[in-house]
Structure 1
Amino acid sequence: MSLQTQVMDAMKTAMKSKDVQALEALRAVKSALLLAQTATGSKEEISEEEEIKILQKQVKQRKDSAAIYKQQEREDLAAPELAQAAIIEQFLPKQLSAEEVAKVVDAIIAETGADSMKDMGKVMGMANGKLAGKADGKTISSVVKDRLS
């Protein structure tokens, strides 16, 4: 089942249960997916990697907004943003823990022979490729820095 179909099914469920938070988040996801699909000018489905990137971007936007609201002591605005992020995260693949990311990064370092911070770009490129959608960039970057320094 494609991601768009899953989102539509979840939207129907949210409409029936009158869940405003879920409906708003799912409509934003649907809109972002449609924009990405029509941006290329084709009617073809977008790839799974692109779908995951779009969902990650949606989650990041909501978490960033929530952080700003919390800095301004606006919990009434931060809570809905975090709730929407949690709803969108349900459609993402399970995120790897820092230990699991470290194992992959160690394998990449051994494979490339990286031994200093000069090699960080090479290691990050390979790690981002292997861990796309499974871990966020901040986690990958911090593990790579720890291993190379």
Structure 2
Amino acid sequence: MSLKATIMTDMKAAMKSKDQAALRTLRALKSAIMNVETSAGRNDEPLSEDEEMKLLVKQAKQRRDSMQQYIDNGREDLASVEKEELEVIERYLPKALAPEEIEAQVKAIMAEVGASSMKDMGKVMGIASKKMAGQADGKDISAVVKRLLS
């Protein structure tokens, strides 16, 4: 089932259970999906799995960034709203990788492409970012790659 169909089903369930946080978040996700689908040049094509993952990662990152800004400015009330929404979005993302798992995958990718110096960072990052999309933050992957290549 596509992400859009899953979200529609979950929206109905959230309405029935009167879960306002889930409903608010699911409506935002549905809106984001529709914005991408109706963007110029798409001809209302449904999103691919890769595009769905990118959209979810982007929405989760927005919530994390907003939550951090609210915390930095002493607005715990608004930060809690962002936290609730982030928890809903994370239901649709794959399980996050542990640091050891990230390192193991990066080592495997490095062996696969024959990376040995910082010159190869772009090759490794390109493959690693695609392979671990939604499972690990780009900053975490980058830190591991830098450490292993230096």
TM-score when scaled to structure 1? 0.93
Give the counterpart letter for 2:137 in structure 1.
Answer: D
Q: For residue 109 of structure 1, what is the aligned residue in structure 2? A: 110
Whether 1:25 aligns to 2:51 is no
Deviations 1:31-59 (A, max 9, x none): 00111111143232110110110011111
Q: For residue 146 of structure 1, what is the aligned residue in structure 2? A: 147
Give the 3-state SS of the residue equivalent to 2:38 in structure 1.
helix
- Identify which range, 84-93 or 111-120, moves more after superposition: 111-120
Maintained 8 Å contact 1:69/1:78? yes
Give the counterpart letter for 1:22 in structure 2.
Answer: A
Q: For residue 125 of structure 2, what is the aligned residue in structure 1? A: 124
Whether 1:37 aligns to 2:37 is yes
Q: For residue 5 of structure 1, what is the aligned residue in structure 2? A: 5
Maintained 8 Å contact 1:105/1:143? yes
Shift of 1:95: 2.1
Shift of 1:109: 1.3
Give the counterpart letter for 2:23 in structure 1.
Answer: L
Give the 3-state SS of the residue equivalent to 2:95 in structure 1.
coil
Give the counterpart letter for 1:102 in structure 2.
Answer: E
**Alignment of structure 1 residues 78-117 onto 2, 5 Å:** 78-117=79-118
Q: Which runs of 5+ in 1 are unaligned?
A: none
Shift of 1:15: 1.1
Give the counterpart letter for 2:45 in structure 1.
Answer: E
Give the 3-state SS of the residue equivalent to 2:42 in structure 1.
coil
Maintained 8 Å contact 1:49/1:133? no
Tell me how many residue pairs correspond in the alignment.
149
Q: For residue 46 of structure 1, what is the aligned residue in structure 2? A: 47
In the alignment, the residues of structure 2 paired with residue 116 and residue 76 of structure 1 have an alpha-carbon distance, to the nearest angstrom, of 46
Identity value in percent: 55
In the alignment, the residues of structure 2 paired with residue 132 and residue 41 of structure 1 have an alpha-carbon distance, to the nearest angstrom, of 23
Q: For residue 67 of structure 1, what is the aligned residue in structure 2? A: 68
Give the 3-state SS of the residue equivalent to 2:44 in structure 1.
coil
CA RMSD across the alignment = 1.3
Give the counterpart letter for 1:54 in structure 2.
Answer: L
In the alignment, the residues of structure 2 paired with residue 135 and residue 26 of structure 1 have an alpha-carbon distance, to the nearest angstrom, of 22
Shift of 1:118: 2.2
